[in-house]
Structure 1
Amino acid sequence: MNVIQCKMARVALGWGTRDLARNAGVSPDTIARFERGEELKTSTIATIRATFEAAGIEFIPENGGGPGVRLSRRQDGK
């Protein structure tokens, strides 16, 4: 997950930095630092990514069009 994907995922979910921080169990400062491009521990980034994935975000790898995110399809078929 890169900085742009993090921001895109937050917008897709309608989350601010504080919402993401609360759901991921990290400080809002941690989210702000990451989104400014500062380095975080790999485990912290993994926690943030897992939080997004649990909320229904799928990360799209770079495939010629650049990396991105999308909301996953609901499991119940709706």
Structure 2
Amino acid sequence: MAVRIRLTRLGRKKQPFYRIIVADSESKRDGKFLDVVGTYDPLQDPAVIKIDNSKLQDWLGKGALPTTTVKSLIKKVAAEV
């Protein structure tokens, strides 16, 4: 049972909004999750990415693996700081 840090989709049709969540790798995209780590709003100009670094580091320390998309979002936030 691997734990992944990934996106879950919210928002209306053609207006996506995402939460960055920690979930079991076998759960559905919008199914059960363990924790909310941040949000991602691609419709803003520039896109708004908010991540709680303490929660993120805690889950990475526990062995949670980010997906490639989340990994790129983390790099963008780190580059802005």
**TM-score above 0.5:** no
Higher helix share: 1
Q: Which has the higher strand share?
A: 2
| TM-score normalised by length of structure 1 | 0.31
TM-score by length of 2: 0.30
